[in-house]
Amino acid sequence: MMQILTTYHLYLCCPQLLSNPQTNAPWQKLYVTRDDHAFMTTMGISTNTFDFILWAAFASLLPVKIQ
C-alpha cells in the first residue's frame, strides 16, 4: 500500500518578508496581507483567529458597536 506524505513548510519566502522591518512590526505586515501561511508560521494562529481574539478583547473599547 502506498503512503501519501504531507509536507508542511515552516519558512517564509521573499514576498512574505519585510522590505524595511523598522517601519512596522512584522506581525502587522503579515496581518494586513491576510496571508494565513505566513501569519501562522510566525504567530501560530490564523488571521481569522487573531480577528476573533481582537474583537473578543477590545470590542467594548470601540466607540460604536458593530453588529
**According to the 3-state scheme, what is the secondary structure of the chain?**
CCCCCCCCCCCCCHHHCCCCCCCCCHHHHHHHHCCHHHHHHHHCCCHHHHHHHHHHHHHHHCCCCCC
pLDDT score at 48? 93
Query: What number is the average pLDDT over the span 49-66?
Result: 80
Query: What number is the average pLDDT over the span 49-60?
Result: 87
pTM, two decimals, is: 0.55
Query: What number is the average pLDDT over the span 25-46?
Result: 85
Q: C-alpha cell of 66? A: 458593530
Q: Are 59 and 65 in contact (CB under 8 A)?
A: yes
pLDDT band (50, 70, 90) for residue 66: low
